[in-house]
Chain A
């Protein structure tokens, strides 16, 4: 392709770093001159320039608009990133989170002036407790991994409270990496448990590992292979009989909302990713929220703060010492990801009990549709039905010279965000597809047609196409090895 003089390629516009647009002295904000005062800095003035660029508002707006155009989101295209749940993010949620009465309030205002905010937290908690059937909830965790940490901290606190020194946590090999990392952060040791040929926890192996030193089992259900753990009641019973707790990783809760209450599965504690299941935007990596539902046994150990309600209205409990509670501490500044709660509550109210159930049904239906329609061109790892995501491995690419990575990059040229690659680790060259309930059938059919076509081209020996992909993107494949070998992590003049 011929190079242009500008380096731009039509709508693919090159954009320098913001620092390289520096026009010294320019400013995109007009602020008044400060009133003259005698400073109270005690000689601690900052010496030398900071090094920030000077820019006008139009320059800044164009810069970030151009950067946005080098990106894609669920607004742009199908984004079937398995385990990440890229569903539609309704804009009414954004609008409501920006109401001054919700966005422009301070966490330390007298509680008499934030009764609506406390009620909103309480109402969000009520929806989540009712949907899961669990009696208690900790609202403060900031994201999924933070919710895992919260759940494990309550377990640790409960064990200490009964004078029990158990430290071993069982985690399936297929688990998200956050599970073992969270367990380690709580001072637990991690013991992996294997999967069966059916892609589920090996119950016999699990039972063999159980003993008086097992604090908890961490299990994702539906699991990371997209399958429901059909022996879950036996699993829960076994861990409980051994005196341990059952932590359910709720990353995949979106498959069962409104159809299954986790309380009915023997779960003691589960975090909920509001940024997955309840439609709040992922924002390029956050913010999320990870409220964590708790059984009655673990409820006293929930972290601070708590919102409580009495005849005088809503109150915040910010310190230990109230009746019966033995909080495991404080996990986060202030009162949780309030702005994310607003969005999740708006979504839950919009969908209602009926809509949430329909959403999980449609998510599972769409994943099974992909599994069925792609099973003769790609290689499903396990027999269906699956839940909200369909797992394939790279056997269909055997002998073609094409890897899962190459296949994913070719999907980009087809106009799709790739599925999750190489996760879970329990199958070879995993391709984990989660269409979610917010794709139309047309969209699913176009995706299926593209994948069939790509699989056919791989089979027919067209490896070069895959190795070169992507080509229709602002950048082609990037050299990650060089980036890690000599890290350049910031701009320098």
Chain B
């Protein structure tokens, strides 16, 4: 077996050195009734060629985004990944390292995490960011819990334009720890009144920009209303590329920003792993969840980096920790950092403009299709349309024509019949104009 270096003679010699007759003697503490003698009922070992054959067969049963006109967003986005990103993250010193517990031999991980934290703070317009969370959905839940700790209040108000998975994950995560989570009805037109819902018990309002249905929202007034009421504003971002073009949450006075970093540097990978971004104000840093990397010096006075402020964390504080998180999304954070470094200020802004321009073109082309109505006045790279028939049927019909043409809102909100004819669509820099035309003409056929 190719991954096991010990030979049978090694094993015999080692057993002799230990002073036992056989391997079973080392498992003597296992109750006899639980020791299995025969292998379990699963296939035996296989060579690389055979494993590759089996998994390739599974891969071939999927329609990959690159093989079809593709218009799905809703929290996961298809962007072009420069080849250098993947080559660099596969360097074994990064890929096969653990959490940087020994800083003298982990300066590579620590420095890129410091760069990552800095980039996330810059993008979101916040003071400080952590070294990543699992994904934006869990980061949203952590942000709401953090707001409750800071304000010592219990009411969490979730916008109807917040990603439905972020809503349900937050509601689940806080279910038993005290807070009361109020999720407003889905808001396809972007017209809900959050300010009017803020009460004396409100710990935070969680809004999203761009919204789940694509609308852009200036949350400055919402932030002011939150602050006047002693509450915090949490802003979620599903598409961080938008921050190259639209006002950052930090520029609109948000207190905590959570975002899904997958878009930058990482493939969609059927939705996981993601990359939770988490940023806040300096004054709240000791209430943050997750790991933080800080700058320091070594014994020779050279600049270096260490994990810091760990007294917030579970391995020190146990049940009083700010979060139970341990493993996060380190390698995805590295991919994010490399991709964003390749883009730089100019490239990132151009990427954002390209995404927006493609989405505007797409909206124009689809808006010209009879029966289609674009719901958004404003958007970044995704928007919602209404159709004259159920959007789920239309999406299936498009898939039947080899087009991955958006996602029906009913997939998230089956109990809201008024959303049955709403379809969410996205365009990125990878969306070719010919693909847009193919979608428009297919829609003309199926409607």
Contact = CB atoms under 8 A, between A and B. Distances in A.
A438 B379 CA distance: 52
A142 B129 contact: no
Interface string B46-87: 111011101111111111111100101011101000101011
A463 interface: no
Contacts of A185: 173, 177, 323-324
B84 A107 contact: no
B19 A372 contact: yes
A284 B100 contact: yes
Interface string A88-108: 111010111111111111111
Interface in A163-184: 176-178, 180-184
A474 B104 contact: yes
Contact of A287 (B26, B127, B172, B332): B332
A258 B175 CA distance: 37
Interface string B195-214: 00000000000000000000
Contacts of B342: 27-29, 55, 57, 60
B399 A96 contact: no
B434 interface: no
A123 B131 CA distance: 32
Interface in A78-133: 79, 81, 84, 86-90, 92, 94-110, 112-117, 119-120, 123, 127, 130-131, 133
A441 B10 CA distance: 7
Contacts of A153: 172, 175-176
B59 A256 contact: no
Given A283-B95, A333-B136, A259 B107 contact: no
B93 A353 contact: no
Given A67-B107, A143-B134, A106 B4 contact: no
A311 interface: no
Interface string A390-424: 00000000000000000011001000011000010
A284 B138 contact: no
B96 interface: yes
A89 B107 CA distance: 21
Interface string B11-54: 10111011110010111111101111001111111111011101
Contacts of B91: 64-65, 68
B90 A94 contact: yes
Contact of B273 (A76, A182, A287): A287
A74 B92 CA distance: 8
A453 interface: no
A23 to B, nearest CB: 9
Given A186-B176, A339-B269, A477-B299, 12 more contacts: A25-B346, A40-B359, A113-B399, A123-B58, A153-B172, A287-B327, A318-B411, A372-B17, A474-B105, A475-B302, A489-B128, A490-B117
Contact of A350 (B48, B172, B378): B48
A190 interface: yes
B180 interface: no
Contact of B396 (A89, A110, A282, A412): A110
Query: Which of A25, A50, A228, A282 has the most chain B CB atoms closer than 10 A to its own CB?
Result: A50
A250 interface: no
A438 B4 contact: yes
A441 B248 CA distance: 55
Given A40-B379, A261-B36, A475-B103, A145 B326 contact: yes
A310 interface: no
B34 A143 contact: no
B143 to A, nearest CB: 14
Nearest to B291: A285
Contacts of A358: 1, 4
A146 B324 CA distance: 8
Interface stretch (A202-210, A292-300, A478-486): A478-486
Interface in A233-288: 233, 256, 258-261, 264-265, 273, 275, 279, 281-288
A29 B343 contact: yes
Given A31-B347, A489-B285, A490-B118, A328 B172 contact: yes
Shortest 7 CB-CB contacts between residues of A and residues of B: A334-B271, A329-B172, A101-B59, A283-B331, A116-B61, A107-B271, A75-B92
B364 to A, nearest CB: 8
Contacts of B163: 333
B135 interface: yes
Contacts of B324: 145-146, 148-149, 178, 181-182, 184-185
Contact of B65 (A92, A104, A156, A176): A104
A115 B294 CA distance: 45
A233 B33 CA distance: 10
Contact of B345 (A54, A256, A482): A54
Interface in B210-260: 216, 218, 243-248, 251, 260
20 contacts: A26-B344, A34-B354, A37-B356, A41-B245, A42-B377, A50-B244, A64-B334, A73-B94, A106-B404, A110-B399, A113-B399, A116-B60, A230-B31, A329-B172, A331-B173, A342-B55, A358-B4, A365-B6, A418-B102, A478-B305
Contact of B122 (A41, A51, A54, A110): A51
A142 B439 CA distance: 35
A429 B347 CA distance: 50
A17 B118 CA distance: 10
Contact of B314 (A65, A102, A177): A177
Nearest to A103: B267
A489 B292 contact: yes
Contacts of A441: 5-7, 10, 13-14
B386 interface: no
A5 interface: no
A94 B171 CA distance: 34
A190 B313 CA distance: 16
A411 B128 CA distance: 35
Contacts of B308: 480, 483-484, 487, 489
A493 to B, nearest CB: 10
A120 B269 CA distance: 13
Given A71-B94, A110-B396, A361-B23, A92 B128 contact: no
B86 A353 contact: no
A409 B320 CA distance: 30
Contact of A53 (B30, B93, B344): B344
A372 B18 contact: yes
A491 B176 contact: no
Given A42-B377, A75-B92, A287 B331 contact: yes
Given A28-B342, A281-B331, A482-B297, A89 B5 contact: no
Contacts of A352: 42-46
Given A474-B104, A475-B107, A489-B293, A340 B272 contact: yes
Contacts of A27: 342-344, 346-347, 350
Contacts of B159: none
A97 to B, nearest CB: 8
Given A31-B429, A52-B119, A143-B326, A42 B216 contact: yes
Contacts of A34: 350, 353-354, 356-358
A17 B111 contact: yes
Contacts of B313: 177
B88 interface: yes
Contacts of A369: 14, 17-18
Contacts of B4: 355, 358-359, 362, 437-438
A70 B111 contact: yes
Contact of A31 (B271, B285, B351): B351
A96 B45 contact: no
B296 interface: yes
Given A73-B92, A142-B272, A476-B298, A228 B134 contact: no
A459 interface: no
Query: Which of A18, A119, A258, A438 has the most chain B CB atoms closer than 10 A to its own CB?
Result: A18
B157 interface: no
A67 B4 CA distance: 30
B278 interface: no
Contacts of A57: 82, 84, 342
